[in-house]
């Protein structure tokens, strides 16, 4: 795991403050059927960390707050948490929009073959990771055979109505660079993805999100071992675009770890940059959120935040500009 000191010492990232909470991004655990090079949570098949029923109950309480409209589920493979379907069903029954960050290969794993049907019934929005449209690049980043499983997963989703006109079932893809460089322009790359996947597999999707790789966890350790950490950080800083500051996802979103502790974003979560309770000064927990006024609270920043503002910008919803 990458130590935090290269990112935290003498950071020059500007101060930012929270807006009213609208989105909860919840990490249901680090268990995953894949081990990806770019994974910033070090997820994998041998991880045992999984969110419990009590913490999920606390999350459902927060979803009842007036401004909160979206539950964004991540992992690991969030679907591998045994309580995943219960949480999704409860949230959708409350009128909450549910996003599942799906690695696609999970749809063909034993015991998960009916996931597509469940997603369709609950009208879950799928944000699916496909870091490139070329097989060699995907398998190099995510493991041998993952590309073909991903294509099969996309076909299943299309057959169920995802990305088809009139169904309301949204299917978005995520591109991550395969090395220490910034993503290209999102719109042009989306056009390239759509043409390739349609021409070769008759696959359709709604939108492509380009997301910058953060210099933390597995990817950060890889940069250090290659002697490229400082070079990549310099690229992020030199590419900062102040126009992206207004769209930063940390302003209206909270990240919750598998234990229920609260962070400004998923990346701060991996660096253990916990939000503090304003009264007790203890690590803030999801069960305390309803008693805390978070509006205008300081957001914890460090050098990795340049990854969200560099170039076209980066968020869980893709480019910012």
**DSSP-derived secondary structure for 81-147:** STTHHHHHHHHHHTT-EEEEEE-SGGGGSTT-TTHHHHHHHHTPEEEEE-S-SSHHHHHHHH-TTHH
Number of structural domains in the chain: 1
Mean pLDDT of 198-221: 92
DSSP state of 240: B
Range of the domain at 136: 5-309
Q: What is the CATH number of the domain that holds 268?
A: 3.20.20
Question: Do residues 107 and 159 lie in contact, with contact meaning Cβ atoms separated by under 8 Å?
Answer: no
Per the prediction, the chain carries an average pLDDT of: 91
Question: Is 314 a domain residue?
Answer: no
Question: Is 32 a domain residue?
Answer: yes
For 86, other C-beta atoms within 10 Å of its C-beta total 13
Structure confidence at residue 4 (pLDDT): 47
Treating both helix axes as pointing N-terminal to C-terminal, what angle do 84-93 and 53-62 enclose, rounded to 10 degrees? 20
Residue, of 154 and 293, whose pLDDT is higher:
154
Question: Do residues 76 and 218 lie in contact, with contact meaning Cβ atoms separated by under 8 Å?
Answer: no
% of residues, the chain, pLDDT over 70:
93
Q: What is the pLDDT of residues 72-131, one digit of tens each?
A: 999 889 999 999 999 999 999 999 999 999 999 899 889 999 999 999 999 999 999 898
Mean pLDDT of 197-224: 92
Record the pTM. Answer: 0.92
Question: Is 228 a domain residue?
Answer: yes
How far apart are alpha carbons 167 and 159 in whole angstroms? 12
Q: How do 125-129 and 70-74 pair as beta strands? A: unpaired
Q: Is the pLDDT of residue 5 over 70?
A: no
Question: Is 124 a domain residue?
Answer: yes
The 3-state DSSP class for residue 228 equals coil
How far apart are alpha carbons 205 and 172 in whole angstroms? 6
For 135, other C-beta atoms within 10 Å of its C-beta total 14
Question: Is 241 a domain residue?
Answer: yes
Q: What is the pLDDT of residues 138-176, one digit of tens each?
A: 877 767 788 999 999 999 999 999 999 999 999 999 998
């Amino acid at each position: 795991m990458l130590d935090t000191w290269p990112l935290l010492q003498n950071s020059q990232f500007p101060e930012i403050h929270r807006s009213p909470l609208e989105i909860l991004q919840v990490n249901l655990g680090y268990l995953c059927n894949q081990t990806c090079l770019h994974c910033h949570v070090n997820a994998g098949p041998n991880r045992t960390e999984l969110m419990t029923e009590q913490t999920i109950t606390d999350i459902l309480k927060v979803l009842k707050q007036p401004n909160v409209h979206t539950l964004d589920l991540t992992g690991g493979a969030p679907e591998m948490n045994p309580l995943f379907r219960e949480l999704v069903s409860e949230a959708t029954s409350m009128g909450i929009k549910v996003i599942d960050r799906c690695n696609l290969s999970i749809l063909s794993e034993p015991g998960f073959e009916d996931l597509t049907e469940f997603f369709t019934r609950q009208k879950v929005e799928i944000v699916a990771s496909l870091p490139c449209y070329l097989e060699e690049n995907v398998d190099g980043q995510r493991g041998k055979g993952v590309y073909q499983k991903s294509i099969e997963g996309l076909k299943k989703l299309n057959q169920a109505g995802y990305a088809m006109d009139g169904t309301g079932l949204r299917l978005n893809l995520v591109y991550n660079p395969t090395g220490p460089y910034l993503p290209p322009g999102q719109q042009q790359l989306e056009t390239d993805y759509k043409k390739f996947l349609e021409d070769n597999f008759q696959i359709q999707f709604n939108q492509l999100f380009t997301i910058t790789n953060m210099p933390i966890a597995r990817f950060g350790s890889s940069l250090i071992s290659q002697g490229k950490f400082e070079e990549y950080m310099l690229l992020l800083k030199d590419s900062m675009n102040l126009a992206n500051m207004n769209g930063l996802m940390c302003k209206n979103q909270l990240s919750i770890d598998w234990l229920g502790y609260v962070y400004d974003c998923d990346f701060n979560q991996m660096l253990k940059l916990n939000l503090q309770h304003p009264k007790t000064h203890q690590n803030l927990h999801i069960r305390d959120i309803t008693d805390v006024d978070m509006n205008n609270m300081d957001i914890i920043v460090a050098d990795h935040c340049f990854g969200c503002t560099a170039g076209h910008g980066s968020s869980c919803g893709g480019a910012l500009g």
